[in-house]
Structure 1
Amino acid sequence: MSRIVYLNGKLYTMDASRPQAQAMAVERESGRILAIGDNVEVRQAAGSRAELIDLRGKTVLPGFIDAHIHLLATAYRSHDIDAAACNSADEVAQLVRERAARTPLGEWVVGNHWDRNRWPSRAFPTREVLDAAAPEHPVALWSKDGHLLWVNSLALARAGITAETSDPPGGAILRDGSGQPTGILQEGAAMELVARLISPLSPVLARQLLQETLAALLRSGITAIHDIEDRATYDLLASLRAEGRLPLRVRMILQRHPLPELRAGLLKADEEDDLLRIGGIKIFADGTLGSQTAAMLESYEGSLSNYGILATPEEEMRVLVREASELNLLIAIHAIGDRAARVALDAIELAERHLTERGQRPGKRLRYRLEHVQLIHATDLERMHRLGVIASVQPYHAVADRDIAERYWGERHRRAYAYRTMYERGIALALGSDAPVELFDPLRIIYAAVQRTDPESGRPSWLPEQALSLGAALYGYTLGAAYAGAEEADKGSLSVGKFGDAVVLPEDPFQISPERLVSNGIQATIVGGLLVYGEV
């Protein structure tokens, strides 16, 4: 039986030409949809020898596409120290002390997810706290948002960081009153001074953690991701792909460093592979709100001299965007603060003008994306629409960041995380998780987009006027995300010729209360027509 037919369902296709259907048929070999419609017409199209699967009235949606995730970092979170539950620097230090006790002397103790914004003092922690916990181990702990690295004195010594060390461009070494490093490194350029010294996990362990995370994504109904990481992650995924062990579709958005290789043809973007492709590059315009490194047009509340950090200088940003656009690459620019958004849009506008002047028509794979877009000036929202720039947003950030947005941005918070405004102005939205910074459960993220709160928090909606409709949120997690990856011809809707990737829900999300959206759960996940998780 070379064809699979799913019958007796309630299919929301995300295809405007046929928004709902009862059945679909998928070619087993290609994994693509052969027919979609009512039971009779689909069975006729599939033929008498097709395998029949009865959906028993359950709801089917296109498979969820996470438009912004860091896959390997998410996998590593379960292996390293996880300080998410810690309410003080001392609590983090206790976890370090316990890990150091079972780690050979001199080896690195690594962790993540500490968040000073939830601590009573909210002060930056210092190296002395870690020195007391692990004096004979170098320690490196990434903050929740991944834009701060907290290290001890031994780590600083191994990296050669002293009072005389200059701040690298696009980063900062925090110092005390005497000029000595405090143990906090801000942004990638500074963090890399230490991070480059830490040996990666063994390939065997890395593969194991990665496969466990891929299985968890399938259990969440995710059939495709845009993985924003580096060449090492791509190589690891390529090895799984070669062995037939990559269970979902991955669109790699590489950190900007491989741009010369892409230009020289040493790396191939968009090679025809149904499961793993390089789509483009990511450029950091700034840092984050929680670390107070997001680049701002006006200073942070209570910190008149702090305007954040431009992680990529303006002229360098313009060169990178222009060169990537010439190659018709997808260009994803991390921009959280309103100054970062402006700098990114300036570069995009110049790149578009450059293409016009050289008579080059934009290729079908060229996409401009602003990642996060947590605060943006009204004039730049209009520019986003005019330039066709996609807003790649993560609605759970609005739930998690509400308090610090009010604390650090003051009255500006009222125009933050403005998803509804973007939608109403015709800006294309793609939804994702930003895991491991936040959770990757699409149903909880969609709930956050629709309700502007989390069901477990018990808190009222935050800026409810910026809530998306359920239809808009589901679109952003399916066809909107596919468009953001320049893949709308292959995925994002249940349409003839596209991949048969779908998620099965026990109940119709449009017919239940929002409170039941999260508990509805995932009944089954389908990739290329095949059940890869659950049952129907």
Structure 2
Amino acid sequence: MVESVDVSTSTLIRTVRPVPVRTRRPYTGPVDLRIRDGRIVDLAPELAPAPDDIVVDAEGRWAIPGLWDQHAHMTWWAQSRSRLDVSSARSAADVVALVADHLERLDSPRRDSPILGFGFRPALWAAQPRVADLDGVSGDHPVILSSGDGHTGWLNSAALRLLGLTPRTGAITETLWFSVQSAITELTSSTDDTDELVRAAVADAAARGVVGIVDFEFAGSISSWRRRFAMGIDDLRVRATVYPAGLDDAVAESLRTGSELDDRGLLAVGPLKIFADGSLNARTALCFEPYADADDLAHPRGEQIYTVDDLTALVRRGHRNGFAIALHAIGDRAVDVALSAFETTGAQGGIEHAQLIRPIDIPRMRALGVRASVQPAHLLDDQVVTRQCWPDRMDRCFALRSLLRGGVDVALGSDAPVSALDPWVAMAAAVHRAAGDDEPWNVGESLTVGEALAASTDGQPTLAVGGRGDVVLLDADPLRPAPTAAESARRLPELPVAATFVGGRITHSAL
């Protein structure tokens, strides 16, 4: 193992092969590169070591700019990895059986220690989640389950009482569900326990070449990361987002997007996150046309979280206080409303998800400079439900190639825990648009490996003098030609990451 390097030291990495990113230029190398004060300051075929250099021999490995996950919920992701996995369930009865089996296996069940589960996907179930079904196997032991898309919670009566929620017969969704996330965290784990889970998740992310995340945690992201950085949980760059409920506090502290929260430039304030609609699986993504299975829906075209005037006012308020705006919009009507808000206010930022989009809105995005922050791995789970809900619109879903061809800046993320915090998984989904050897969904909207990689480096191009000192060493060439897109997609998540550097500091090493 190579010794840890502080961001303030000078690091000399010998014999690397820079992978071309955002360029058609051929490979160069091997070369040496030096990182000082967080930036690449020298790059040449052979550099003489400086007295303060810490020398790392890459031994001819391939080098790329550090990878980013542009949309994650870090606390939620860290916690979900240790929760009851109910993602295999194909019905409400399957989930209930998994919960019952889990309770039977507990040595000494504690009623003050809720069962937490994650991953059920009820969109195609014949019978929807019912509180009574969980009550039948859990009694007074609180059970709190989150859907795989994070937009629905299935709780038993004991959990509803524990959280101070009114009795109900079915699941809770979206606004109410999001509002109790902080309470669930406080009730189910101590701050110390949560931070240690986050520490482990950060280490695992670094081991996949991740150098930064945009953290969309629902509440307290700024204060949580300040605490974690003080504890030494600082192996990632973090942009901590703000939600409307926390905007006044952020403004009172004179914070805005880009405000640095540590003295090394690793922790900063991210955008203001605003919901324009819900989700596909909850049938709340806002669309121009009704859902194909809308007969029993109270809102056949999905749900609009804010009126157009209220959304515009909120975007304007964030913009005037120095915030970039991250507008959650999944349905095509929500994308249209979001773009109108950007248009009216002059705000900068992006649309999170942009899952269903009209072709006429792509030039609008480009003209407004609004980027598309997308999560390609979602398409692996959403194809079947899309066929049921939007059968006439499937060709407009996850339109990655159209966005890129239309001149829109595309950035990839995971929405962890909805999908794994692993950029290689997102890239693989963008390249093949299917799992394994399955037939790709809308193959014409696939990206090349090079395009997917370029959408995963936070805008950083091929490693060069002046660039960030965020470097990932790989044991194989990510751009090595493959006979099929499926083979490229298979290789990407298996790429061995030899080392990760953040500002020249080693955050992961298998050298």
TM bucket, shorter chain: 0.7 to 0.9
Q: Does 1:214 align with 2:219?
A: no
Give the TM-score of the pair, scaled to structure 2. 0.88
What is the match of residue 58 of structure 2?
55
Inter-partner Cα distance in structure 1 for 2:233 and 2:376? 31
Structure 1 position 449, deviation (Å): 0.8
**Alpha-carbon separation, structure 2, partners of 1:420 and 1:517:** 19
* SS at structure 1 position matched to 2:171: strand
Write out per-residue CA displacement over residues 26-69 of structure 1, whole angstroms, 9 at most, x where no aligned residue.
Answer: 345x2221112x313xx15x647644433222111001011111
Match of 1:148 in 2: 152
Matched, 1:247 2:254: no
**Would you say 1:25 and 2:4 are equivalent positions?**
no
Question: Are residues 1:189 and 2:176 paired?
Answer: yes
Q: In the alignment, what sits opposite 1:175?
A: none
Amino acid at match of 1:368: G
Question: How many Å separate the matches in 1 of 2:181 and 2:269?
Answer: 28
Deviations 1:266-299 (A, max 9, x none): 5454333421111221111111111211111111
Compute the displacement of 1:534 (Å). Answer: 2.5
Give, in angstroms, the shift of residue 107 of structure 1. Answer: 4.8
Which amino acid is 1:503 matched to? Answer: V
Rounded Cα–Cα distance in structure 1 between residues aligned with 2:180 and 2:449 = 44
For residue 155 of structure 1, report the CA deviation from its aligned partner: 3.9
Distance 2:182 2:213 in 1: 26
Secondary structure at the counterpart of residue 303 of structure 2 = coil
Q: Residue 112 of structure 1 is aligned with which of 114, 118, 122?
A: 118
Q: Give distance in 2, aligned partners of 1:451 and 1:193.
A: 37
Shift of the 18–367 alpha-carbon distance from structure 1 to 2, 3 Å rule, reads farther
Distance, in Å, in 2 between the alignment partners of 1:448 and 1:57 is 28
The alpha-carbon distance between structure 1 residues 245 and 520, as it changes in their structure 2 partners (threshold 3 A), is: closer
Partner secondary structure for residue 199 of structure 1:
helix
Deviating above 6 A after TM superposition, structure 1's stretches of 4 or more consecutive aligned residues are none
Q: CA deviation at 1:200?
A: 4.9
Instruction: From the superposition, tell whether residues 157 and 54 of structure 1 become closer, same or farther in structure 2 (CA, over 3 Å).
Output: closer
Q: Could you give the per-residue CA deviations for residues 325-361 of structure 1, whole angstroms, max 9, x where no partner exists?
A: 1123121111111111111111111111xxxxxxxxx
3-state SS of 1:183 partner: coil
Distance 1:98 1:49 in 2: 58
Equivalent residue number for residue 519 of structure 1:
494
TM-score (ref. length: structure 1): 0.84
The answer as to whether partners of 1:395 and 1:446 remain within 8 angstroms in 2 is: yes
2:45 partner letter: N
2:305 to 299, 306, 311: 311
Work out the CA distance in 2 between the residues paired with 1:396 and 1:72: 20
Partner of 1:460: 439
Aligned to 2:485: none
2:23/2:462 contact within 8 Å kept: no
Which of 107, 123, 129 is the aligned partner of 1:125? 129
Task: State whether residues 14 and 32 of structure 2, in contact with CA within 8 Å, keep that contact through their aligned partners in structure 1.
Answer: yes
CA distance in 2, matches of 1:150, 1:209: 23
2:354 aligned partner? 373
- Is this contact kept in 1: 2:18–2:462, CA < 8 A? no
Asked if the contact 2:131/2:156 (under 8 Å) is kept, the reply is yes
Match of 1:232 in 2: 220
The alpha carbon displacement at 1:493 in A equals 5.2
2:425 aligned counterpart, secondary structure: helix
Give the one of 285, 299, 316 matched to 1:294.
285
Structure 1 counterpart of 2:15, one-letter code: N
Shift of 1:300: 0.8
Q: Is the 8 A contact 2:35 2:42 kept in 1?
A: no
> CA–CA distance in 2 between the matches of 1:493 and 1:228?
28
Matched residues in 1 for 2:376 and 2:22: separation?
Answer: 24
Once residues 193 and 211 of structure 1 are traced to their aligned partners in structure 2, the CA distance between those partners, rounded to angstroms, is: 23
Counterpart of 2:216 in 1: which secondary structure? strand
Does the 8 A contact of 2:151 with 2:177 survive in 1? no
SS at the partner of 2:250? helix
Change (3 A) 1:65 1:534: same
**For residue 487 of structure 1, what is the aligned residue in structure 2?**
none
Q: Deviations over 1:354-413 (max 9, x none)?
A: xxxxxxxxxxxx731100100012222221111111000011112221111111101101
| Identical columns (%) | 31
Which residue in 2 is equivalent to 1:505? 474
Partner residue in 2 for 1:68: 71
Q: Is contact 2:22–2:454 with CA below 8 Å preserved after alignment?
A: no
Quick one: distance in 1 between partners of 2:449 and 2:115?
43
Partner of 2:330: 336
CA contact (8 A) 2:315 2:345 kept: yes
Question: Taking structure 1 as reference, are residues 269 and 462 closer, same or farther at Cα in structure 2, changes over 3 Å only?
Answer: closer
Per the alignment, in what secondary structure is the counterpart of residue 462 of structure 1? coil
8 Å Cα contact 1:15/1:494 also seen in 2 = no
Does the Cα contact within 8 Å between 2:278 and 2:284 map onto a contact in 1?
Answer: yes
Counterpart residue identity of residue 501, structure 2? I
Asked if 1 retains the 8 angstrom alpha-carbon contact of 2:182 and 2:218, the reply is no
Query: What SS does structure 2 have at the residue aligned with 1:9?
Result: strand
In 2: Cα distance, 1:108 partner to 1:55 partner? 47
**Pairwise CA distance, 1:143:** 0.8
> How many Å apart are 1:464 and its aligned residue?
0.5
15 and 192 in structure 1: CA distance in 2 versus 1, 3 angstrom threshold:
closer
Structure 2 residue aligned with 1:90: 93
Q: Judge conservation of contact 1:505–1:522 (CA < 8 Å) in 2.
A: yes
Q: How does 1:323-472 map to 2 (within 5 A)?
A: 323-352=317-346, 367-455=348-436, 458-472=437-451
Cα distance, 1:419 vs structure 2: 0.4
Q: Equivalents in 1 of 2:200, 2:481: separation in Å?
A: 32
CA distance in structure 2 between the aligned counterparts of 1:7 and 1:142, rounded to whole angstroms:
47
Give SS of 2:454's match: helix
SS in 1 for 2:89: coil
Q: 2:215, 2:241 within 8 Å by CA — same for their partners in 1? A: yes
Query: What runs of 5+ residues in structure 2 fail to find an aligned partner?
Result: 483-487
Which letter does structure 2 place at the counterpart of 1:207? D
Contact 1:156 1:194 (8 Å CA) reproduced? no
Mapped to 2, the partners of 1:195 and 1:276 lie a distance apart of 21
Deviation at 1:522, TM superposition (A): 1.6
Partner of 1:281: 272
Q: Deviations over 1:451-501 (max 9, x none)?
A: 11223xx311111000012221111001xx34xxxxxxxx56523333311
1:3 aligns with 2:7: no
- Secondary structure of the 2:350 match is strand
1:473 matched to which residue of 2? 452
Q: Does the CA contact (< 8 Å) of 1:241 and 1:275 recur in 2? A: no
Q: SS at 1:111's partner residue?
A: strand
Kept after mapping to 2: 8 A contact 1:185/1:191: no
What amino acid maps onto 2:402 in structure 1?
Answer: T
Alpha carbons of 1:247 and 1:106: their partners in 2 closer, same or farther (altered >3 Å)?
Answer: closer
CA distance in 2, matches of 1:3, 1:263: 37
Note if 1:322 corresponds to 2:326: no
Instruction: State the one-letter code of the partner of 1:344.
Output: A
Inter-CA distance 144–524: structure 2 relative to 1 (3 Å threshold): same
In 1, Cα distance between equivalents of 2:285 and 2:253 = 34
Aligned CA distance change for structure 1 residues 21 and 250 (closer, same or farther; 3 Å): farther
Unaligned runs of 5+ in 1: 163-180, 353-365, 483-490
SS of the equivalent of 1:229 reads coil
| C-alpha contact (below 8 Å) 2:369/2:408 kept by paired residues | yes
Deviations 1:190-246 (CA, angstroms, capped at 9, x unpaired):
663697476252012111111110011011110111111144333222122123331
Matched-pair contact (CA < 8 Å) for 1:63–1:502: yes
